[in-house]
Each structure stands twice: as structure tokens, then as C-alpha cells.
Amino acid sequence: MPEPQIYQFAVPSNFPRPDFDTESPLTKEGIELGRMLFYDLRLSGNNKVSCASCHDQKLAFSDGKALNDAGVSGTILHRHTPALINLAWANNGLFWDGGATNLESQAFGPLTATDEMHQDLFELAGELSAVPEYVKRFDLVFKDQVSSQNIVKALAQFQRTLVSANSRYDKFKRNEAGGNLSSVELQGLQLVRQKCQSCHAGELFTDNGYHNNGIDADFSNDKYEGLFQGRFRISYNAADLGSFKTPTLRNVALTAPYMHDGRFAELEDVLDHYSGEIKISATLDSNIPANGFQFNSDEKKAILAFLKTLTDEEFITNSEFSKP
């Protein structure tokens, strides 16, 4: 009986060490199985939607829409599709309000949600069990049958390999060939470090935390089970009203539109917001001044120039992440 081969996860030298603690060691075969599933339309109830339908590699695994209606029911979703970047380090909750503790648990959500993949988990296991290739692979990877638990484990393994660490900025940071930043880009880097990195922190360009960044003033609307109230509806801690997950700035030029509901079409709109359109509330993050950062137009240009250096062409073209 062949054994799956342990996958050596390469930590980029400028990144912190990730913490894999979910009982699911990465194996080459597990990752490959996860990739097959990620692109498989059969994971949806109508066999027309796969994970990749809304997580498009060309867009750093986002979908370019504010609120997508590509799900099985055709209903417009309430939240913008998050990009899938550097999830091996995302250990502080998944979804915009952090309701899922890990990738394994998270996948059950979109798989079963009526407006997303609307899949019946019993039928899914039955459908994939009728495919000899899947039966063989699940047996090799998990020494087990096809089951929804094993499906989400395989998907999680694949997603953990989606590492973006080869942008021009990274090559600059690691003194590698091709890592030159112009003076405008360097100016932008300094501004991002000073003004943005209290939340978009470190080399991951996210603290994987939850902040109220002042895009709304009022969070009293508790419709849709607290959908508009941010992390509050998970923690029930008043300090979390209006707090949403800090997305990474990596590949940000590719992942428009922006914010948890995609309300800002362009990066310029985001910078205008942070410059002086902050909406005040009791839980506004203390790192954001009430009248904004007051960027002048040169500063905005510099920040935009720098943000573009975080685009990782290798990430969006790597065939190991593409449809098999």
C-alpha cells in the first residue's frame, strides 16, 4: 500500500513561520486531491459551480465583483469574496468576521449555503464515491472513504499551499534579482509602513485581525443575523461592533473591488477614504485619525505605486495552483 508523501512547506525567508495545528499534515497527494476538488463543478448542488468559480487564480483567487451572484441560487451575496492568499498564516478566524476557526471548518459554509454551492453533503459523498479516481485518491490520502470531512481536509491542504511571496517587493526585501523599487515606490513603501501597517502588518501585510476602519458610522442594523455588525455577531463583544478582517495588501491591485462588501471600486477610492472620509463611531480603530491620514496627491501616487509592487505574477500563473 503506497503512502502519501509528506510535503515540505517552504517558508519564504522574509515571512514568519506558519502554525499548522489542524491535525492534517500536508502531503503531495492530499494537496493534489484538494486541487482537483477545488476546480470540480460537482462540488455544487447543480454541478455548475466550483470553488474556482468565485476564487479565480488570475485575480489572486478573488472574483472581481463587489457582491457576486454566481452561486447556485443566483441570489446576490451580502459579502465580497475574499482573496485566497497566504492562508497558511490565517490562524485567527476565516470569513470577514472570523466565524470559522480553520480552513477545514470554513469549507462547510460555502459548500452548503443555498446562495453559494448549495450542496447536499450526503449526495456529494455519493457522487464522488462513484468516481473511481476519487475513491483511489481518498483511499491513498486518508486511508478512508470519500466523506465530507475528508473533502474539506483535502481542500484545506491545497489552500495552505497558496503562498504569495515573490512579488517585486519581496525580491527587493530579499535582495534578489529583479527587486528594484523606484524612488516613488520607495516613498510609497515608507508611507505604507508608517500609516497602514498597524493593521496591514509585517510581510504578510495583514495582522489577520479585526478592525473598524471607519467606512460606516452606525452598526445598529442587526438584520440578517447581525451581518452588518462585523465581528460583533461572532464574539458578541461590543468592542467588535463594525470590525472586519484585515485583508492582505498583497496582490491588492488584482483584488478590486475593496472592503467586505466591495463598495470601493478602485484603490484610489480606498485612499480617498483613508485620506479624509473616515466615519466616526465608538469602535473606530485607534490607529485611524478621525479626520483621516490627509494624504496629498503625491503621497497617494506613491502609495499606489508601491501597492502595485505587491503583485505576484508567479502566484497568479503558477500551474501548481491552476486547474488540473
Partner 1 sequence: MIAISLSELTLISIISSGFLVTKIHMKRIFIFAFAAFIFSSCDNNDESTEMQPVEDAKTTITFDARVGNTDFALNKDFTIGTRTYNFSKLRYWVSNVTLVDSKGAEYLIPDSYYLMEEVGDLNLSGTISDKLTYPARKREAIDIEQIPAGEYKSIKFSVGVDSKHNDNLSLQAGELSIANGMSNIAWMWHTSYIFSSVAGTVKEGATSAEFLAETGLNANYKTVSIDFAAPVNFSTAKGIVLNLDVTKIIDGIDLIKTPKVNAAQSAVMSALAANYGSKAVAFGSVSN
Task: Give me the residues that bind partner 1 (CB under 8 A), please.
Answer: 22-24, 95, 97, 99-102, 104-106, 108-110, 112-114, 116, 120-123, 125-126, 129, 145, 147-150, 152-153, 156, 224-225, 227, 233-234, 236
Residue in the structure block whose three cell numbers are 478592525: 211
Q: How far is the CB of 113 from partner 1 (least distance, A)?
A: 5
Residue 129 or 197: which CB sits closer to partner 1?
Answer: 129
Selection from 89, 54, 102, 91 nearest residue 205 by Cα: 89
Residue in the structure block whose three cell numbers are 455577531: 233
Q: How far is the CB of 67 from partner 1 (least distance, A)?
A: 14
Strand (E) positions, 135-224? Answer: 210-211
Selection from 73, 38, 307 nearest residue 161 by Cα: 38
> Coil, strand or helix: which one is 56?
strand
Query: Based on the number of CB atoms within 10 Å of its own CB, is 127 exposed (0-12), middle (13-18) or buried (19 or more)?
Result: middle
Residue 236 or 287: which CB sits closer to partner 1?
Answer: 236
Residue 229 or 255: which CB sits closer to partner 1?
Answer: 229
Residue 116 or 312: which CB sits closer to partner 1?
Answer: 116
Residue 96 or 306: which CB sits closer to partner 1?
Answer: 96
* Helix or strand run (H / E) with residue 245: strand 244-245
Q: How far is the CB of 203 from partner 1 (least distance, A)?
A: 26
